[in-house]
Copies of this chain bind each other. A is one copy, B any other.
Amino acid sequence: MSDPTGRVFDALADPNRRFVVEALAERETATATELAAELPVTRQAVAKHLAALNEAGLVESRREGRETLYELTPGPLAAAMDWMASVGAEWDSRLARLRTHLDSSRKRRS
């Protein structure tokens, strides 16, 4: 799965990971232990989630002394939003085409 959009959706599919993303959107940085304190799971679980988010390009890590700071990099969110927007747009334009087609046939009939 090298598709970047797919990795983003996969990353956001987990509720704990979404919580982490929300938390990182408010604080500027956080460590795995800090985040684990607000979640019903262990530090290692959070670390795995952060690794997954990093894999998706949503988070970057930097080591500061004995602790590792994680920071949000919301760039890939835009790509995922683009995908949804394009699906919605295709759907809309299909509806529009259908509507004009119905209009023209109605006009022809009247």
Show the binding face of A for B, using Cβ within 8 Å. Answer: 1, 3, 5-6, 9-10, 12-13, 15, 18, 21-22, 25-26, 28, 72, 74, 77-78, 80-81, 83-85, 87-88, 90-91, 94, 98
Residue of B nearest to A93 (CB): B25
By beta carbon, the residue of chain B nearest A12 is B9
Copies in the assembly, this chain:
2
Chain B residue numbers with a CB within 8 Å of A21 are 87
The interface residues of chain A, by DSSP majority, are classed as helix
Report which of B12, B25, B85, B91 forms a contact with A94, defined as CB distance below 8 A.
B25
Residues A25 and B84 in contact in the complex (CB < 8 Å), given A1-B15, A9-B12, A15-B3: no
CB distance from A101 to the nearest CB of B (A): 12
Taking the closest CB of chain B, its distance from the CB of A98, in whole angstroms, is 7
- Return the 4 tightest CB-CB contacts between A and B, nearest first: A13-B13, A25-B90, A9-B12, A10-B13
Given B15, B74, B77, B80, which contacts A6 in the complex, CB threshold below 8 Å? Answer: B15
- Contact present for B94 and A28 (CB under 8 Å): yes
